[in-house]
Amino acid sequence: MRKSLLYITLLLAIGLFSCEKQKQISTRELLSGPKLLDHYQWIKQDSLGNFSKTIWDTTNLAKIILWDNGSEAFNNATYDGNFAPVGWFYSNVGVGVPRLPIGWYADYEEMKSITFWSEESLGGKSRVTYALDFNRLTGNMHLEAVYYIDGVAYKEVLELKDL
């Protein structure tokens, strides 16, 4: 009995050491996939410095696919909606006729930000970066950005849900 237990323990140890380590899923793989822009808000800062003046608050704005091109910086995004987030319009991301192609990348070390960008016709890049709160269990993303337009601060909030 004792000899059998020793053999079983030895076999288990060999089995554990011989198995390859499971590949760690990259941030890019976690974030990519089809999403629903489930909730969108565009909020203006008031005279006290609070973001309290909601200009646009809507649900189900668009569908977006974050493609995994196997690149840390050059991943495509497909945006399927009639209206783009306002921050994209002011940053020239995915706008124009025809619409500019959209790319995306994320902060792969901390997983705290995601950037959407487009290549301008003059060769420069236009981009908007959001603070990222990612729920690993559901795949949902909460994105927030603050930017200035003509000296006024605005906050943009996007809630992306896995489809």
For the entire predicted model, the pTM comes to: 0.80
Domain count, the chain: 1
**Residue 42 has what pLDDT?**
97
Res. 13: pLDDT tops 80:
no
**Residue 21 has what pLDDT?**
40
How far apart CA 155 and CA 40 sit, in angstroms, is 11
Domain of residue 147 covers 23-162
Tell me whether residue 15 is in a domain.
no
The CATH number of residue 59's host domain is 2.40.128
Q: List phi, psi (to 5°) of 41.
A: -135, 140
Per-residue DSSP letter, 21: P
Tell me whether residue 66 is in a domain.
yes
Res. 19: pLDDT tops 50:
no
